[in-house]
Amino acid sequence: MTAHRPSALDAFAYRHTGPVRLYLGDARQVLAAMPDGGVDCLVTSPPFWSLRDYGTGRWRGGDPACPHPATSRADGAACAACGAAYADPQYGLEPTVEQYVDRLVAVFDEAHRVLTPTGTLWLNLGDNYAGGARRAYDTSGPITARRRPPGTRNGSLLPAKNLIGVPWRVAFALQATGAWYLRNAIIWAKTNPMPESVGDRLSTTYELLFLLTRSHSYYFDLDPIRLPLKHPGAADGSRVFGGVHKAHTGGIDATARRRGARYGVAGKYAAVDVGVEPGAGRGNLRPIGHAHTAAHPRGRNPGDVWRIATRPYKGAHVAPFPIDLPLRAIAAGCPPGATVLDPFSGAATTGLAALQLGRSYVGIDICAAFHDEAFARLRPHLPGPGASRDGG
């Protein structure tokens, strides 16, 4: 990374070893202490809203023996019995989804400054449902004025059973700042989704991974994540589009045959030599009249639906995403030998992917136990014992 303000950033230093730097503290505060443009790629999965409590909250002041009866555990709440204040820096337990979105936008405002102008942000988020109410919402007024009735699981102002659309709310809020380009909404289709005991809707089998950039032009290399061609012969210009013989039609549909294409004869839909030079990074589609061929010699574009299985994890962090997600994101969106950052590091799955791909890693988390667990995962991938410095 580039030169930084040691007095500001070192206050958060937790463990620095070789290409790994771990910082302990609130994501926004740590990012604010980092230099401009020192990171090439962000890959992160913030805590999803109103889903789980990571147990980072603590009562401060007041009577240590007080049970703090019937008191809210929200950050900043006060115990009516003893006056103790509850402090919880974790993200995801905000009383309303609007507050959650605002906090994430503030984090990524700082991340935008920390990224290089050609940097990319890969943001994984899951959704949630309004629900758990014992009685109906008051729908007589505008939705922004409705009050949350007792018994709700979260602070959504929507009537119970509504899909809240949390990922898209965050993505659109980032886009609305004018600082981010929203380039892709990637569907992570889970091949082994968690079963749900629901009977009046379809079970949820996917999460979203957004690709955002801070500039119109940015680093992106499609080649490392291309998928093998099903019929490689279609890429060399020697075979009809489709690249496989299907009876006498050669796999050409009826409309194409009426326009003069037939097996073994170059018609309107014949494959062409795409002629892409190494490192070009573009040109996987070449027009043939009004048609195109996607037969790039290095493989096909994986598209925006990624079918990836979840992976079991036995550590304290209960919800790390599978390493396949950051592996793809880093391979495509981070230059070789550059720096990857995750402001919600958790079990450091992003860090594991970064090290496997020869990148440096910067992780931020509010929980020291997660950092210790993360470092145990990363240690086998570090380049030898080297010089280690632990910070407090």
Task: Indicate whether 386 pLDDT > 50.
Answer: no
Predicted confidence at residue 84, as pLDDT, reads 81
Q: Are 361 and 348 in contact (CB under 8 A)?
A: yes
Q: How far apart are the two ends of the chain, measured CA to CA in Å? A: 21
Pairing type for strands 291-293 and 339-342 reads unpaired
Task: Indicate whether 274 pLDDT > 70.
Answer: no
Q: Are 14 and 368 in contact (CB under 8 A)?
A: yes
Cα 323 to its chain centre, rounded Å, is: 12
- Residue 275: inside a domain, yes or no? yes
- Looking up residue 39, the CATH number of its domain turns out to be 3.40.50.150
Task: Indicate whether 232 pLDDT > 80.
Answer: no
Q: Which residue has the higher pLDDT, 41 or 313?
A: 41
Residue 225's pLDDT band, with cuts at 50, 70 and 90, is: very high
Residues 262 and 121 in one domain: no
* Mean pLDDT taken over the chain: 78
CA distances from 106 to 8, 110, 364 (A): 19, 7, 15
Predicted confidence at residue 89, as pLDDT, reads 73
Pairing type for strands 339-342 and 360-365 reads parallel
| H/E run at residue 212 | strand 206-213
Domain that holds residue 255: 227-300
Here the contacts of 169-178 (C-beta below 8 Å, separation 24 or greater) are: 169/97, 169/101, 170/101, 170/104, 170/105, 170/123, 170/125, 171/123, 171/125, 171/208, 171/210, 171/212, 173/101, 173/102, 173/104, 173/105, 174/104, 174/105, 174/108, 174/212, 175/212, 177/105, 177/109
Distance CA 282, CA 275 (A): 11
- Residue 109: inside a domain, yes or no? yes
| H/E run at residue 49 | none
Q: Which residue has the higher pLDDT, 124 or 229?
A: 124
- Residue 390: inside a domain, yes or no? no
Among residues 300, 325, 347, the one where a domain terminates is 300
313-334, pLDDT tens digit by residue? 666 545 678 999 999 999 999 9
Domain count, the chain: 3
Task: Indicate whether 249 pLDDT > 70.
Answer: no
165-220, pLDDT tens digit by residue? 999 999 999 999 999 999 999 999 999 998 888 899 999 999 999 999 999 999 99
Predicted confidence at residue 213, as pLDDT, reads 98
Residue 74's pLDDT band, with cuts at 50, 70 and 90, is: low
Residue 154's pLDDT band, with cuts at 50, 70 and 90, is: low
- Residue 148: inside a domain, yes or no? no
Task: Indicate whether 371 pLDDT > 50.
Answer: yes
Q: 42: helix, coil or strand?
A: strand
Residues 313 and 247 in one domain: no
How many CB atoms sit inside 10 A of residue 181's CB? 17
Residues 241 and 293 in one domain: yes
Among residues 300, 333, 355, the one where a domain terminates is 300
Mean pLDDT of all residues in 58-62: 78
Give me the percent of the chain exceeding a pLDDT of 90.
52
Task: Indicate whether 269 pLDDT > 50.
Answer: no
Per residue, the 3-state secondary structure of 260-320, as one string, reads CCECCECCCCECCCCCCCCCCCCCCCEEECCEEECCCCCCECCCCEEEECCCCCCCCCCCC
Task: Indicate whether 362 pLDDT > 60.
Answer: yes
Residues 80 and 67 in one domain: yes
Residues 104 and 253 in one domain: no
pTM: predicted TM-score of the whole model, two decimal places = 0.76
CA distances from 167 to 163, 177, 187, 213 (A): 11, 16, 12, 17
